[in-house]
Amino acid sequence: EIVMTQSPVTLSLSPGEGAPLSCRASQSVGSNVAWYQKKPGQAPRLLIYASSTRATGVPARFSGSRSGTQFTLVISSLQSEDVGVYYCQQYNSWPSLTFGGGTRVDIK
């Protein structure tokens, strides 16, 4: 099973601040990584697929990138509505699909 390890576990940011969220795969997954946002009481929302392609309707302040087995989601300027938990997911070892443990983002 491919393990996806996310860091940090929690990220506290001031409004307007930007920061990277990291996700490392235990082995090669190509660019087959997606990112999701989960807000309390809401369903998860797809943000990024294929490592760097924004899903429909996702604001440009969200961007994804890949370097080897390291994947990064950047929120360039935190808005209050961005508070939640962010998960990465690999789909390279199909049909065994695995998520990372999540990074909680909150407002400082």
How many residues interact with other proteins (rule CB under 8 A)? 24
C-alpha to C-alpha distances, 61 to 10, 12, 89, nearest whole angstrom = 19, 17, 20
Q: How far apart are CA 36 and CA 33, in angstroms?
A: 10
Q: Calculate the CA 108 to chain-centre distance.
A: 20
Q: How far apart are CA 105 and CA 78, in angstroms?
A: 9
One residue of 63, 69, 72, 89 binding other proteins per CB under 8 A: 89
Compute the least distance from the CB of residue 95 to other proteins, in Å: 4
- Interface with other proteins, residue 43, by CB under 8 A: yes
- Interface with other proteins, residue 32, by CB under 8 A: yes
Site string for other proteins, 67-86 (x = CB under 8 A): ------------------x-
Nearest to 79 by CA among 93, 65, 58, 98: 58
Compute the least distance from the CB of residue 46 to other proteins, in Å: 5
Q: Which residues bind other proteins (CB under 8 A)?
A: 32, 34, 36, 38, 42-46, 49, 55, 85, 87, 89, 91, 94-102
